[in-house]
Amino acid sequence: MATGVSRVDLDGRPIKPLTICMIGAGGFIGSHLCEKLMSETPHKVLALDVYNDKIKHLLEPDTLPWADRIQFHRLNVKHDSRLEGLIKMSDLTINLAAICTPADYNTRPLDTIYSNFIDALPVVKYCSENNKRLIHFSTCEVYGKTIGSFLPKDSPLRQDPAYYILKEDDSPCIFGSIEKQRWSYACAKQLIERLIYAEGAENDLQFTIVRPFNWIGPRMDFIPGIDGPSEGVPRVLACFSNSLLRREQLKLVDGGQSQRTFIYIKDAIEAVLLMIENPDRANGHIFNVGNPNNEVTVRQLAEMMTEIYSKVSAEPPLEVPTIDVSSKVFYGEGYDDSDKRIPDMTIINRQLGWNPKTSLWDLLESTLTYQHRTYAEAIRQSISKAIAS
């Protein structure tokens, strides 16, 4: 970062350098946030995670210009007595740690609930007891299904935004029955949000809650059999990338009719940086962070990714690029889905003046260029090895 240039917040006040305790810093979002903080700010990061592969490029060599501003602590928040000390040393704690892949919600519901609720409890407690600010990562999934999804299929009210736009201070949280274990994640995230909110109301905890709406980009999840387990099921971007790289059909769960809005990770990180550096505007708020202009069905996403991948890899697409698969076969018993997720942007616009910029086409083009560059050769080698053996 250029020295001598004074950075100011949205109200024109100089920004003081902070020490940030970032839990889950080695994941997808954490790696992009660390990158941003190192390259564009003077802040210090205590990066906590069980893994650091995605931030290795920021930790080594120790001649990097920010080497004295980032420290990695390999630690599991489930059981590590260093946690409170690290929170105490910091001005701000950002909690990203979670099990957050849908394939786990119905197959590992206990781990999912422990990770998203029980393991987050000490973090909230230490922040509250030590008067430290907390930015906690929740999820858009706390909204569950839209009200509109319960209307008859041909009801004109389904077109009325009042029935599907998701508002932080207004929309209800609508989950399926208990046996639909898909909702174990959303329910645990909802309860930790309520606990943080209550700590704010009763004990003056300074908090901000972030609800990401399908942030995607480079380094998201893993490619099965290359940098993750062969049988693992990552989120949709990595599932579809994996199929494209292997020249296999993209699997559309229950026909790919669910709708999502996707946002480029780099746009979303801008919003998080504004929250970090404008506590007076961000404290006490829950923020949707998404791109309402990038809505597609999962089927449309598959078609778009197929077209873009063909362009970046210079390989023609398969004649029939997609195949339908039932959710029971793909995810197992207890899967259920959010039908539609469009974020209302009023609160984040008003408090932070933030808007996403990148179109779905552009963000997929840069992400698939990265996927091709990073994985195509490794996949080619693993396929030839499998054939040879």
Does residue 98 belong to the site contacting ligand NAD (CB under 6 A)? yes
Closer CB to ligand UDP, residue 3 or residue 230? 230
> Which residue is nearest to ligand NAD, using beta carbons?
27
CA distance 2 to 60: 20
Give every CB contact of residue 194 below 8 A, 6+ residues apart in sequence.
none
Which residues lie near ligand UDP (CB under 6 A)? Answer: 102, 141, 214, 235-236, 239, 251-253, 256, 258, 260, 298, 337
Closer CB to ligand UDP, residue 133 or residue 182? 182
**From ligand NAD, ligand UDP, none, interface partner of 258 (C-beta below 5 to 8 A by class):** ligand UDP
Closer CB to ligand UDP, residue 20 or residue 236? 236
Contacts to ligand NAD from residues 336-375, by CB under 6 A? none
**From ligand UDP, ligand NAD, none, interface partner of 260 (C-beta below 5 to 8 A by class):** ligand UDP
Among 66, 117, 137, 183, binds ligand NAD (CB under 6 A): 137
Among 34, 58, 92, 119, binds ligand NAD (CB under 6 A): 119
Q: Is 185 marked active-site?
A: yes
Nearest approach in angstroms of CB 22 to ligand NAD is: 10
Window contacting ligand NAD (CB under 6 A); options: 26-34, 224-232, 272-280, 311-319: 26-34
**From ligand UDP, ligand NAD, none, interface partner of 26 (C-beta below 5 to 8 A by class):** ligand NAD
Closer CB to ligand UDP, residue 132 or residue 260? 260
Residue 185 backbone class (left: φ over 0; alpha: ψ -120 to 50; beta: rest):
alpha
Residues in contact with ligand NAD, total (CB under 6 A)?
A: 24
Closer CB to ligand NAD, residue 234 or residue 321? 234
Nearest approach in angstroms of CB 103 to ligand NAD is: 12
Closer CB to ligand NAD, residue 49 or residue 336? 49
Nearest approach in angstroms of CB 371 to ligand UDP is: 15
Footprint of ligand NAD (CB under 6 A)? 24, 26-30, 49-51, 76-78, 96-98, 100, 115, 119, 137, 139-140, 212, 214-215
Active site residues: 185
